Amino acid sequence: MKIAIGSDHIGYGLKLHIIDYIRLKNIVITDFGTHNEERTDYPIYAKKVAEAVVSGEYDAGILVCGTGVGISIAANKVDGIRCVVCSEAYSAKLAREHNNANVLAFGSRVIGTSTAEAIVDAFLTAEYEGGRHQKRIDMITKIERGEM
């Protein structure tokens, strides 16, 4: 599994923690920035991670900003991205199983490191169930393409 990760300056510290946490699991993770705590703009990193996932080079993405909200809104503007902002693990699990989410977002001002770890674990271990859910994913894709 290959993971693309990104954050703004507010999410930077929590992102570093999560990178170390994921590397311990022998999962390949690439940091698309930002690379320090200098003020910057979250759409830059949302776009980089989203495009890395849509390209097929990465299996999933993780984004961190202050709340996870801005960076998830930006990521969802990229065709093919289903980014979910989570503050607890159950939603992260179901986002994978039911919504086939391909990017996870959370906020460093909202959750601490152990909750972030639990959310990441839930997201990375759950699998899309397909079946009855596929019809709804197809409808989302149609909205994205202006076909519905």
- Residue positions annotated with a catalytic role: 65, 98
Closer to ligand RB5 by CB, 40 or 100: give it: 40
Q: What DSSP state is assigned to residue 131? A: T
Residue 112 backbone phi and psi in degrees, to 5: -95, 180
Closer to ligand RB5 by CB, 67 or 91: give it: 67
Residue 43 interacts with ligand RB5 (CB under 6 A)?
A: no
- What tokens appear for 19 in the block? 């990178």
Closer to ligand RB5 by CB, 75 or 124: give it: 75
Residue 32 interacts with ligand RB5 (CB under 6 A)?
A: no
# of chain residues touching ligand RB5 (CB under 6 A)? 8
Q: What DSSP state is assigned to residue 97? A: H
How many residues would you count in the chain? 148
Rg (CA), the chain: 14
Identify the sign of the CA torsion 91, 14, 1, 78: positive
Residue 14 interacts with ligand RB5 (CB under 6 A)?
A: no
Residue 18 interacts with ligand RB5 (CB under 6 A)?
A: no
Contacts with ligand RB5 by CB under 6 A lie at 8, 10, 42, 65-67, 69-70
